Amino acid sequence: MENYDSAALGLQKNLLNLRRALAQTEASGDEQKALVLAKLIAMMEQGLKKASTDFKPHTLQ
């Protein structure tokens, strides 16, 4: 379980860093780079959402 938790935390940290970079890029006015970052973030979030529904853990119930 520890490996899963550390991987999930690392992924959350990477997404947070990407969102910060997106905000900074938008603030600086670099629209092309902001668009690329926004698409990347959306793709990652979409993949995570799909993975969370596809790979539900087995329970004892």
Please report, rounded to a whole number, the percentage of residues in the chain having pLDDT higher than 90: 49
Question: Where in the sequence is the domain holding 36, given as residue range(s)?
Answer: 2-53
Give the confidence band of 12 by pLDDT, cuts at 50, 70, 90.
confident
The answer to whether position 22 is within a domain reads yes
The predicted structure's pLDDT at residue 32 = 96
Q: Is the pTM of this model over 0.85?
A: no
Provide the mean pLDDT of the chain: 84
Total number of domains in the chain: 1
Contacts of residue 25, Cβ cutoff 8 Å, sequence gap at least 6:
33, 34, 37
- DSSP type of residue 7: H
The answer to whether position 60 is within a domain reads no
The answer to whether position 25 is within a domain reads yes
CA 29, 32, 35, 37 torsion-angle sign:
negative
Q: How far apart are CA 6 and CA 18, in angstroms?
A: 18
